């Protein structure tokens, strides 16, 4: 073909052949100036031919095309089609109050973004403070019974149970009239660290106490308002709240060295948990109706002690406390001089007024001071924790609730109703009745004791008895969970006789009853003027003692359950109590008992208490 040549191709089995052509314009052509433009058109033409060749059916390129189409469709659905995967927005909610209260509804957009004032919650919600919401206080009761095997610490050793009760450990008296001596010393043996030491001081004339010190560095504080100089005599008190252990010689230094009588009485007291000075008072006067009333103090604590001094121009007995009848104070052997005496009362009841009263010659003058101490941490329970912080035991302390006024059955009878006891409403209560039947009467049998016979009609169980032939009967009876209130204790028996009936109530006692609640009872007999009996007990327990004698009691070493009380043919009956320890000894002084005396002692076991946690 003349001019431009067109290459031809044919399809064959061997594959495609390329189609190539070229257009070369003549130099004489009117389009010779368009060469570069034609060249540019040549490039896309070659691309088109390449695609046509690539899509020829003799190779399976359709599969690749299909994959590209599917991929394109997926990407298009994500980025270009209206899909939930691509929807997003920012919402802001602001809440400044919960005044709308509790609601099960939820805040919604857009209407509740700034006005929502409700909340959803459980019970006990407190939103009383603006801008705040919190749960109200709640209490959960946890109760568990502990045994000897569960009461262990981290080292698997038995932990201490309960809180020791208040106890007078020792009492020392010392005085001097040496002209060259301005000091008086008194030595306490084996003082226990942490115990309370009280020093009462007295002096003649215008002498006062300048200071109190000891040999092991304890610091003694003056009891505010305890000092008084009147009627030619001075009384005063000092104390140290937490003594150092060891033999302790206490020295009182007076304002002058002369022949005036100077004396001190020193008490060591245990069982007060975090003890503090409560208050003191002083008074002077003239004994009236054979009573010299000391200074009265109204205590602010529920557990503690009150100590008192009386210095007169009369004479006190050398063997007895000279405390007037029905007075809570005891002071056996606590005479500082012939005309000076001291007394102490260990208290575990509600805050109240306490006033000592001494039996004195009518018309004598006296000067007296009284001081009180209180426990600042409730010791009625003690929580024990092991080394890992686990609760191992929560034990109670038997605590005195109320004491009756003893009933004298005189003339002789076969029954008696005691109506002076009001049992409180405290938890885990117990009642103990104390019976003294006349020495000269024999054949008293079929004794029965009932609390509230016209109401709850609760019979008591005999704890201990001692019946000495021809010498009368002394007994203790017990009841757990007595009904509260001012009720009647009724005692009946055969064979008419005189008797003394008394009753005491307690709280914190194991409610099982029988020997579980009132274990370790023991009895004893004897004669003479000093009587004692030892009972096995434990910390947290409380012991109670009853004695009958045909003579007058003049001293009792433990707090009394009632004053010495006498009836015909019996002499006197009296009782005392003391906090538990490994062993507890009750001691009493009396005129010489020619007849045998009789003692019953019982031990009250504390309940393993349920407490709020």
Residue 277 lies in a domain: yes
Cβ neighbourhood burial of 610 (10 Å; 0-12, 13-18, 19+): middle
pLDDT of residue 142: 56
Residue 505 lies in a domain: yes
pLDDT of residue 155: 43
- pLDDT tens digits, 502-560: 999 988 888 888 888 998 888 887 776 667 788 888 877 888 888 877 665 544 555 56
How would residue 34 be classed by pLDDT, with cut points 50, 70 and 90?
A: low
With a CB cutoff of 8 Å and minimum separation 6, the contacts of 346 are 166, 167, 168, 269, 305, 559
Pair 444, 592 in one domain: yes
- 194 and 264 fall within a common domain: yes
Which of 16, 41, 59 finishes a domain?
Answer: 59
d(CA 18, CA 9): 7
Task: Compute CA distances 179 → 183, 250, 260, 481, whole Å.
Answer: 11, 20, 8, 62
* Best-predicted range by mean pLDDT (51-55, 68-72, 248-252): 248-252
409 and 360, same structural domain?
A: no
User: What pLDDT does residue 114 have?
Assistant: 83
pLDDT of residue 70: 76
DSSP assignment of 139-182: --EE-----TTT-B-TTS-BPP-S-PPPEEEEEEEEEE--TT--
Please report the pLDDT score of residue 323 as a whole number: 66
Question: Which of 408 and 36 is assigned the larger pLDDT?
Answer: 408
Question: How many domains does the chain contain in total?
Answer: 3
Please tell me whether residues 238 and 270 are part of one structural domain: yes
Boundary of a domain, candidates 17, 36, 59: 59
Q: What is the DSSP letter of 38?
A: H
Q: Are residues 600 and 453 in the same domain?
A: yes
Angstrom distance (rounded) from CA 548 to CA 559: 17
Q: What is the pLDDT of residue 185?
A: 93
pLDDT band per the 50, 70, 90 thresholds, residue 350: low
- How many CA atoms are closer than 13 Å to the CA of 231, on its beta-carbon side? 19
| Same-domain pairing of 370 and 404 | no
**pLDDT range class, residue 199, cuts 50, 70, 90:** very high
Listed residue (501, 474, 493) closest to 565, CA to CA: 501
Question: Maximum Cα–Cα distance for the chain, whole Å?
Answer: 173
Residue 358 sits in the same domain as residue 491 = no
What are 110's two structure tokens?
Answer: 């857009």
Mean residue pLDDT of the chain comes to 74
Asked if residue 20 is part of any domain, the answer here is yes
Would you give the DSSP letter of residue 498?
Answer: E
CB-based burial label for 250 (10 Å; 0-12, 13-18, 19+):
buried
Confidence of residue 318 (pLDDT cuts 50, 70, 90): low
In terms of domains, do 350 and 405 share one? no
Has residue 160 got a pLDDT over 60? Answer: no
pLDDT, one tens digit per residue, over 545-584 is 888 776 655 445 555 665 556 666 666 777 777 777 788 8
Residue 126 resides in a domain: no
Q: Provide the token pair at 113.
A: 């973004």
* pLDDT (tens digit per residue) in 423-436: 999 888 999 999 98
First CA to last CA distance, the chain: 117
Q: Which of 160-190 are b and which e, b meaning 16 or more Cβ less than 10 Å from the residue's Cβ?
A: ebbbbbbbbbbbbbbbbeeeeebbbbbebee
| Residue 115: inside a domain | no
Distances from the Cα of 417 to the Cα of 453, 458, 461, 566, angstroms? 10, 14, 17, 17
Whether residue 360 sits in one domain with residue 294? yes
**Shared domain check, 332 and 256:** yes
Tokens read off for 416 = 């008696």
Query: What is the pLDDT, as a whole number, of residue 535?
Result: 87
Residue 384 lies in a domain: no
Q: E strand or H helix at 118, and its extent?
A: strand 118-119
- Domain span at residue 570? 399-612
> Is residue 394, in this structure, part of any structural domain at all?
no
Q: Are strands 391-396 and 381-385 parallel, antiparallel or unpaired?
A: antiparallel
Q: Is 69 helix (H, G, I), strand (E, B) or coil?
A: helix
Residues 406 and 357 in one domain: no
Q: Are residues 414 and 355 in the same domain?
A: no
Indicate the pTM of the whole model.
0.46
Segment (H or E) for 124: none
Long-range contacts of 210-213 (CB under 8 A, 24+ apart): 210/253, 210/254, 210/255, 211/252, 211/253, 212/238, 212/250, 212/251, 212/252, 212/253, 213/250, 213/251, 213/253
296 in a structural domain: yes
Predicted pLDDT at 238: 96
């Amino acid at each position: 073909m003349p001019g431009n040549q067109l290459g031809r191709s044919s399809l064959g089995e061997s594959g495609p052949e390329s189609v190539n052509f070229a257009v070369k314009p003549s130099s004489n052509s009117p389009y010779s100036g368009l060469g570069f433009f034609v060249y540019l058109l040549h490039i896309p033409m070659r691309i088109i031919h390449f695609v046509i060749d690539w899509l020829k059916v003799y190779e399976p390129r359709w599969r690749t095309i299909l994959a590209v189409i599917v991929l394109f469709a997926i990407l298009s659905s994500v980025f270009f089609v209206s899909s939930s995967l691509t929807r997003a927005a920012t919402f802001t909610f602001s809440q400044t109050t919960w005044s709308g209260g509790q609601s099960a509804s939820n805040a919604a957009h857009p209407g509740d973004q700034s006005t929502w004032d409700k909340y959803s919650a459980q019970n006990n919600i407190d939103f009383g403070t603006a801008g705040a919401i919190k749960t109200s206080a709640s209490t959960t009761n946890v109760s568990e019974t502990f045994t000897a095997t569960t009461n262990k610490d981290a080292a698997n050793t038995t932990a201490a149970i309960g809180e020791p009760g208040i106890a007078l450990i020792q009492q020392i008296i010392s005085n001097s009239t040496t002209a060259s001596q301005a000091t008086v010393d008194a030595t306490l043996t084996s003082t226990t660290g942490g115990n309370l030491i009280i020093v009462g001081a007295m002096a003649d004339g215008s002498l006062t106490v300048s200071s109190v010190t000891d040999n092991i560095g304890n610091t003694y504080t003056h009891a505010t308002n305890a000092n008084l100089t009147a009627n030619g005599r001075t009384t005063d008190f000092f104390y140290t709240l937490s003594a150092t252990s060891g033999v302790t010689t206490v020295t009182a230094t007076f304002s002058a060295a002369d022949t005036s009588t100077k004396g001190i009485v020193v008490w060591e007291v245990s069982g007060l948990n975090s003890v503090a000075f409560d208050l003191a008072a002083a008074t002077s006067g003239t004994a009236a109706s054979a009573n010299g009333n000391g200074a009265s103090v109204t205590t602010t604590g529920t557990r503690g002690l009150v100590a008192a001094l009386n210095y007169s121009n009369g004479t006190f007995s050398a063997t007895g406390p000279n405390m007037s009848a029905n007075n809570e104070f005891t002071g056996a052997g606590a005479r500082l001089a012939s005309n000076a005496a001291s007394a102490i009362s260990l208290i575990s009841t509600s805050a109240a007024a306490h006033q000592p009263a001494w039996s004195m010659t009518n018309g004598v003058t006296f000067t007296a001071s009284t001081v009180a101490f209180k426990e600042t941490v409730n010791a009625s329970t003690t929580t024990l924790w092991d080394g890992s912080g686990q609760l191992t035991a929560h034990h109670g302390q038997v605590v005195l609730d109320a004491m009756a006024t003893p009933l004298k059955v005189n003339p002789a009878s076969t029954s008696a109703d005691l109506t002076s006891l009001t049992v409180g409403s405290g938890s885990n209560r117990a009642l103990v009745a104390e019976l003294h039947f006349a020495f000269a009467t024999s054949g008293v049998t079929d004794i029965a004791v009932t609390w509230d016979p016209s109401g709850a009609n609760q019979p008591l169980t005999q704890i201990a008895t001692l019946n000495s032939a021809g010498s009368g009967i002394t007994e203790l009876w017990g009841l757990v969970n007595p009904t509260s209130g001012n009720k009647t204790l009724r005692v009946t028996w055969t064979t008419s006789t005189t008797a003394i009936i008394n009753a005491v109530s307690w709280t914190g006692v194991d409610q099982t009853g029988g020997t579980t609640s009132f274990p370790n009872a023991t009895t004893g007999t004897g004669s003479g003027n000093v009587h004692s009996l030892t009972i096995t007990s434990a910390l947290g327990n409380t012991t109670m003692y009853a004695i009958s004698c045909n003579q007058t009691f003049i001293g009792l070493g433990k707090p009394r359950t009632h004053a010495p009380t006498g009836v015909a043919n019996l002499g006197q009956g009296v009782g005392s109590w003391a906090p538990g320890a490994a062993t507890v000894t009750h001691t009493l002084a009396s005129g010489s008992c020619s007849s045998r005396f009789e003692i019953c002692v019982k031990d009250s076991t504390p309940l393993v208490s349920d407490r709020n946690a």
